[in-house]
Chains A and B, each alone.
Chain A
Amino acid sequence: MRKINILIAILLTGAVGCSDFLDEQSKETNYGLFEDAQGIEYLVNGAYGFLRYKHGGEQSFTLWEYGVDTYTAAADGQHKHFDDYGTNLNSNAAWIPWFWSSNYRAINTCNIGIEKIPGITASSGIFSTEAGKASRIAELRFLRALYHMQLVQQFGSIPLMLKSSVGVQTYFPKSTVAEVYASIIADFRHAESVLPLTQSDRGRATKGAAAHFLAKAYLTRASAVEEDRGKKSTDLDSAIVYSEQVINSGTYTLMPDFKNLWLMANETNSEVIFAAQNNNNLLLQNNDLSNEVHLFFGFPYDNEKGMLRDIANGRPWRRLRMTNHATDVFDRKNDSRFYKSLKTVWFCNNTANIPLWPADHWDAAKAGKKKYNNIGDTSILYTLHKYIPASMKTEIPDGFAPKGVGNPYDTADYIKPYLWFYRNHEGTDELSYTDQRFLVLLKHLDPTRLTVATEWSARDAWLARLAETYLIAAEAHGRNGNFTQATTYINILRNRAAYKAGEVKPFQYYFGEGGVKGDVTATYDLIKLPEDGSYWNSDVSFEQYPPSAGSVESRFIHFILNERTRELLGELYRWEDLQRTETLVERTELYNTRAAVNIQDHHKLRPIPQSHIDAITNADGSPLSEEERAQEQNEGY
């Protein structure tokens, strides 16, 4: 029996004290976090975090700059079907579901905050006052509208989400585009009325930001041609009111020199109205959602002699290149925005690998010698023209070597000290620019990246700047028939865009663009629109208006799109601009040769993600039938 006692003792030890053996003691964060003020503040921060999505990877150009009139695919990348509208641009294409999911997740986050904030109590901090709570709610409604607006522009009719998810939900009926815009406008209006003019935290939504996007939303509604966006007769007036409110607020001013907009030192400046925030702290970046746009516009300069990859010149992922249309829609001579938006010269940063003149060069002083010697010497040069005026031959920088008398070698290697890429302007196709060699947009480059290979940039991702507000105001006035006022606003931007008196112009001014070397006169008068608003009364070949643009109104719309190219080139607005003005198919077909073959009318909207259609159900929880699934999809996909 002694043994039995031992046994019983052991069994009891095993059983006693085990009543809580199966209770979990988590070390992780969970939903309880959102029950107090600190947690809600985290949630609000989280809702802003989704703003990084747009610039956070290849979605940036894929969804916003591919398949348009101004940019087209360059050598690399897995998403060229977004540019050429090929078969693989279907409901399973990458980015389609991811963009959808990111924005809806952001919206759900906003909704949780909007619902929870009223019940939060705090003894200090922003949630201790009703005004403070209202301000945070207004921020979340601002963000919710912004995310909805990104979605509706790409997908058209979508489910409108104004409540947070509770439990498992699978029934999501679509709202009409008109309903979605109505909700977006209501949210922006609320935000505009509650938000303060300025915020102590850089990057928080302000009254000005809300007004800018509100104006844009009204303008978008008013821009509808065939699509039913619920246009109201007052929309253009509303767009004017809110855009002018921003313009006249005194809070924002245009940077005096367009060139300085792109300096990292100026990533926050008086022109920026709203931006997704980034900085250079590795631990505060998340690799899938940080500003990576700088990667995509470059050409592989680092494969060329005299060059190696460095931080300042960036990582050239050669995803996209300008179209001829975009290149030629600029007054490159007088409008400084072209050469201030693009990088055309690379300087030697690698003396170990300097190219040599051919050993049989006719100039014995050169034969077999280095073409140049020092870091900083011109190594790669892009021009728009192959043939330069004879008068300029002696003016070519860096000792452009003239063709030798009787020289049989009229090849580039013998006459240029640097690698020279030119566009054969005489042909309809570029010959010398290729998918690997093209003009590089400098707007996103970031010389402050921590290492050569760092993929994320500290650059704030601008979502609204004052120049665009001017363009919104101008477009609204023009659509309203007030071409004089439209001209006034355009000219404010043109004034900034022009070379100033005394400003030294880039060498291309006289090297191909027809200027005279040493000319430092102002160019504003040359690019100023006639103040009487008559610019759109007739065709201007330079504007490359499509054949359909036969009226003042139509020319005005296409002009505005061109002006947006000139001002906002590569700033990830383009696909939305064309979608908004319902000119996507027409303009892309005309100006993007890759896309021209495939683009069809249905491409004005993206396909609804197949993963969404496959996962939703009817109201009773039953799966959709094949017909119902087809119903959910946008036409043509």
Chain B
Amino acid sequence: MLLVGIFLLQSTSGWAQERTVTGRVVSQDDGIGFPGVNIVVKGTTIGTVTDSEGQFSLTVPSSESVLVFSSIGYANAEEVVGSRSTINVSMMADVTSLAEVVVVGYGTVKKSDVTGALSSVTSEQLMAVPVQSVSQALQGRAAGVDVVQSGFRPGDNPRIRIRGNRSVNSSNDPLIVMDGIPLAEGTGMNDFNPSDIASIEVLKDASSTAIYGSRGANGVILVTTKKGKTGKAQITYETYVGFSTPLAQLDFMTGGEHAEMRREALRNNSGKTYNMYWADVNTDFANFSSDPNVWESISQGYTWVDKENKIPQMRPVTDEERAAFEEYYNYDLIRYPNPSAAIQTKIDQMRTMLDDPNLQIPVYDPSKVRTTNWVDHVLRNGFKQDHQLGIYGGTDKVSVGLSVGYHSEDALQKDISFQRFNLKLNLDYHVNDWLKIGGSTMGSMTINNSGSNAYFSALGQLPYAIPYDPVTGAIIRNPGNDPLIFNPLNDLGGEVNEDRTARFFGSYYADVKLMEGLRFRSNFGPDFKHVRYGDYFTSASNERDGQPPLARYNQEQRFAYVWENLLYYDKTINTAHTIGLTLLQSIQDERYERSEVTVSQLPYDYQLWYNLESTINTGVDGFLSNFNQRRIMSFMGRVNYGFNNKYLFTFSGRYDGSSVLAPGNKWAFFPSGAVAWKLHEENFMSSVGFVDEMKLRLGYGITGQQSGVAPYITQGSVERRPYVWGETAAWGFVPSLLELKDLTWEKTASLNVGLDFTLLKGRVGGSFEYYNQNTSDVILDRTLPTISGFNRILQNIGKTRNSGIELALNTVNVETPGGFKWEMDVIFTRNKEEWVETNFGKEDNLANNWFIGEPVVTYFDYVPDGVVQWGEEADGATYNRIVGQNIVKDTDNNGVINANDRAIRGSDVPVWSGSWVNKFSYKGFDFSFFFFTRQGNTIGSGWYRPALAGRYPELAFVDYWTPTNPSNMYPRPRQDQERLDWPEAYLWQDGSFIKLRNISLGYTLPSTVVSKLKMSNLKVYVTVNNPWLSTDFKAGDPEFSAGAYNQSNLNPTVGYNLSETAYLFGLKAAF
């Protein structure tokens, strides 16, 4: 409203000409009439300003006249008058300006009036990179928001963290509020269509999230969907198609390299099985022929005189080789200090051979050994397509938005695919001057074939084994005849894992104007989600390995609703004081139920899980059902006060009760306060010419957490264990969890200081934040000594802190009159996450790996210290190690390696992360690229923990010690070990990376051409997602979060960690 005054001063009155044009200007945000918009006939001084209803009337010189509509904070709009006499215009907010209107909790404000730390992402930014899910679209777009892949299956939900982790047991997922309705924990936003999103606001500090009280501790993501607009109806069609290829393939040892590693492992085992120091035909045959196809691969390395009778071409050894073999011999003397008679015989045999001046060895070239690229057998080119159709329009009374979408992906692995159908209808109806009702209804159906483990299984194949029997063409069940290595091809088609998710989500409201300035609003948001998981394993699948087929049918149903009642009161006193009051009462209910049945011995495969009663078994293999419900009840009040449009204050308090907490501890109060100071409104700033706008913010607030508390857990739990007396069932129940009588809210108190600015006439804009969040009463899943009969308990103990800085900068680097523009967005986030107190106060808790000053998830393990080298025998002997064996650091230097030598090895939290976006536009062309980086996080990778037993495949970077290769990385292979000594020590690796997230080229056709096509806009583009990755990590894509420390998660290639480069061709049309 204040802006109106400013623009009125600039208004000029038009004079009479040939034609008069009338119309109405509305704001795209709310469809409400936009007062004070400046309208000028291009190239003239003719102009006017809209009235309080957004209406205007202007006389123009000719039909060629172009009207330019402008208002600070909004993008200029241009309209050719043509033959029209009525021109309605919808003004779109300009992203880079502080004057933008943004969504905050329970309302909207002008960005210039925001008092909290908030990142806003526009639809334009979201759609710049074609993505499958809403959360992917957020990546690198908002400072302080860390989005990482949790897996690369098309249906996997990326993990979102706002300003780090603060909870251990509770979720660190932010609260997602969809069109005003908080979503139930764990339901995610990926069932929604990214194309339906108008904007996303991320609330980061407590002063803005505290109004969400209990659920705001991890930040809040406010998602606003597109709505119908008053004015001319708009029809949009957007599509892209494309294909994808793997981004970070694993590089394995070739057949020849692996064969040599196996030989080394056999040379070094307790039986000294491979006595020859070189590749020897008969010894090879003894060790590589249990699968004849493997022998064929190995034999290709030899030059044969008579292959049938295993007579190779021989040649004399070189002096160099002889010296190397002597090293091998010397090693044997160390390796077998007290040899058995059999070993002694073998050693003597080698001595005799080496003493022969005419020693001959076979002609052998390891590079000729056949290598199978197993991954090629299970992968294909991925394929994606996406279609979106939208219709938006409305009248004064009613506005409507309808969108339908279809997204489909065939992933790189042959049996993984994903499909999603979306439908959304949005309706707003001004019933009369005091009542407005409306809402949006979204429906989606996803079909997710999550596929088998074929890719991972392919990675586990021996390079010199082959998949198909060369004679019969049949799939070889155990390639290499290793009973533990199963052919991945059995699973393609042998295993079906299909989830079907149906989701219905609605957000409905009634808005009642009670009197001037007083408004009542009731929001109701039902959210229904049904998931059916179906698994089918044929008899041929590796899971069943010849047993009769098995099917599993699992259904999950969630119904959540939120009902909120709000009172708003706005009042301006003497133009200097603006007061806004918000009162809220809300309830939230999440209900979950599930059932599952597993049946085997199904007589035919094509039924999948749809005809389980056809089993020829006498019963089911298993069944279960469960139920839970959690509820939250809240009361909230908020006061906004502004003085002279310079000083803005916000205070809020929220009182929340949660059903899952212990009786007596269910309720907590969460207050917050913030102040903002618009420096540019001060007189002393008027002399600082380069500053357009500048605002300083300070906020403090408390938020809560209870999401990690499962329903009913406070009552303790017992576990059923089956037992029998003879043949009679004897069910046993034993305690499994202690009662939690004291469990209460985890609380985070945060302080935030922020500065928002626009400089140099809008050329530079951005914000800077500093924050310090202290979480206390952390709900901890504390490890108990199991001797007590219990292994863990949830308790409110300990304190964590997250502090950091965030910088978001957008600049217009170049803007020429010729129309060339170079814009740049930079986002930088540095967050320090740390334990302040554990349950032991200022001391570490080793049982849980909680270390004061270190992040919540910290890896604690032995530290590899290379390999004992020739000449280091004495050092090795101290620790009972011999040359060629690996060793870990004796960190306390006491001559013994034990649990006290473990040390901190890193954390899954990056030290800093950032993104850098460049956009170039010229005439209709635009070109952009987008880099994303995370630096300093540690990941645990099983590929760095090789078995080195010669039995399983290893990555090419695995450089192992041999008597002639003084590697300091890994020890000499040994066949009779399953893993290296201290295997876990080798897991921890730096996960830093830089990714070119996206590179895109687009062309928007000129309006002259477009209008001939009866279109209002047409853009074509080509884009590549993730074309380039730079990292020192050698075992796949490091952009992967294994989450909390978990043995089964250690290997980032377990499952489907296969990221892709996608090449997409798209089109955006509007009518």
Contact = CB atoms under 8 A, between A and B. Distances in A.
Interface of A: 3-4, 6-7, 10-11, 14-15, 18, 21-31, 33-34, 39, 42-49, 52, 73, 76-80, 84, 86-88, 90-92, 97, 100-101, 104-105, 107-109, 112, 159, 161, 164-165, 167-170, 172, 201-204, 268, 277-279, 281-286, 289, 300, 302-303, 309, 427-429, 431, 435, 451-453, 593-594, 597, 610-617, 621-623, 626, 629-630, 633, 637
Contacts of A86: 977, 981
B789 A29 contact: no
Given A29-B717, A431-B342, 15 more contacts: A6-B512, A7-B514, A11-B565, A15-B585, A22-B666, A28-B715, A28-B717, A48-B723, A108-B788, A169-B784, A172-B788, A303-B483, A453-B544, A593-B270, A615-B785
A614 B846 contact: yes
B786 A429 contact: no
A104 to B, nearest CB: 4
A611 B631 contact: no
B734 A47 contact: yes
Contacts of B983: 88
B45 interface: no
Nearest to A624: B846
A14 B739 CA distance: 32
A84 B342 CA distance: 19
Interface string B651-682: 00000011110010010000000000000000
Contacts of B629: 24-25
B825 interface: no
- Closest 9 A-B residue pairs measured CB to CB? A108-B789, A46-B732, A202-B726, A45-B732, A101-B786, A615-B847, A201-B725, A46-B734, A614-B847
Contacts of A7: 512, 514, 520, 567
Contacts of B977: 80, 86
B364 to A, nearest CB: 25
A539 B724 CA distance: 48
User: Which of the listed residues B341, B715, B788 has the most CB atoms from chain A within 10 Å of its own CB?
Assistant: B788
A317 B731 CA distance: 30
Interface string B480-494: 010110000000000
Given A14-B587, A42-B732, A285 B788 contact: no
Given A3-B512, A92-B899, A283-B622, A303 B481 contact: yes
A284 to B, nearest CB: 4
Contact of B785 (A23, A28, A170, A593): A170
11 contacts: A21-B633, A28-B626, A31-B718, A43-B733, A46-B734, A169-B784, A201-B730, A279-B726, A283-B619, A284-B723, A622-B843
Contact of B731 (A45, A84, A109, A164): A45
Given A47-B734, A48-B723, A10 B565 contact: yes
Nearest to B730: A45
A204 B982 CA distance: 43
Given A48-B730, A48-B732, A78-B979, A11 B585 contact: yes
A201 B727 CA distance: 10
Contacts of A107: 789
Contact of A29 (B547, B621, B718): B718
B982 A87 contact: yes
B981 A87 contact: yes
Contacts of B817: none
Given A21-B633, A429-B342, A165 B724 contact: no
B1003 interface: no
A611 B722 contact: no
Nearest to A609: B786
Contact of B783 (A47, A279, A615, A621): A615
B724 A14 contact: no
A152 to B, nearest CB: 13
A597 B342 CA distance: 16
A450 to B, nearest CB: 9
Contact of A593 (B340, B514, B718, B844): B340
A23 B630 CA distance: 9
Given A48-B723, A88-B979, A613 B899 contact: yes
A91 B899 CA distance: 7
B748 to A, nearest CB: 22
Contact of B723 (A3, A79, A277): A277
Contact of B724 (A11, A18, A279, A594): A279
Given A21-B631, A22-B659, A161-B787, A283 B722 contact: yes
B722 A284 contact: yes
User: Which of the listed residues A49, A76, A107, A617 has the most CB atoms from chain B within 10 Å of its own CB?
Assistant: A49
B735 interface: yes
User: Which of the listed residues A277, A285, A613 has the most CB atoms from chain B within 10 Å of its own CB?
Assistant: A277
Contacts of A300: 483
Given A105-B789, A159-B787, A88 B981 contact: yes
Given A201-B726, A615-B785, A18 B718 contact: no
Interface in B766-815: 782-791, 793, 795
A90 B899 contact: yes
Given A46-B734, A279-B726, A282-B622, A24 B712 contact: yes
Contacts of A30: 712, 715-718, 739
A281 B340 contact: no
Interface in B976-1005: 976-979, 981-983
A87 B980 CA distance: 9
A107 B514 CA distance: 67
B905 to A, nearest CB: 15
Interface in B688-713: 711-712
B733 A33 contact: yes
Given A24-B712, A622-B840, A453 B545 contact: yes
User: Which of the listed residues B547, B548, B730, B785 has the most CB atoms from chain A within 10 Å of its own CB?
Assistant: B785
Given A7-B520, A30-B716, A284-B729, A428 B341 contact: yes
B698 to A, nearest CB: 34
A328 to B, nearest CB: 16
A168 B899 contact: no
A428 B721 contact: no
Given A31-B715, A282-B621, A637 B898 contact: yes
B712 A201 contact: no
Nearest to B790: A165
A452 B786 contact: no
A24 B730 contact: no
A24 B659 contact: yes
A203 B789 contact: no
B27 interface: no
B659 A23 contact: yes
B732 to A, nearest CB: 3
B305 to A, nearest CB: 20
A27 B723 CA distance: 23
Given A167-B738, A201-B726, A277-B725, A24 B789 contact: no
B720 interface: yes
B733 A39 contact: yes
Contacts of A167: 738
Contact of B711 (A26, A172, A633, A637): A26
A4 B520 CA distance: 9
A53 B186 CA distance: 36
B486 to A, nearest CB: 13
Nearest to B514: A3
Given A27-B627, A159-B787, A49 B722 contact: yes
A309 B739 CA distance: 48
B548 A31 contact: no
Contacts of A427: 341-342
B997 to A, nearest CB: 39
A164 B898 contact: no
B546 interface: yes
Given A453-B544, A594-B270, A626 B732 contact: no
Contacts of A4: 514
A309 B546 contact: yes
A31 B735 contact: yes
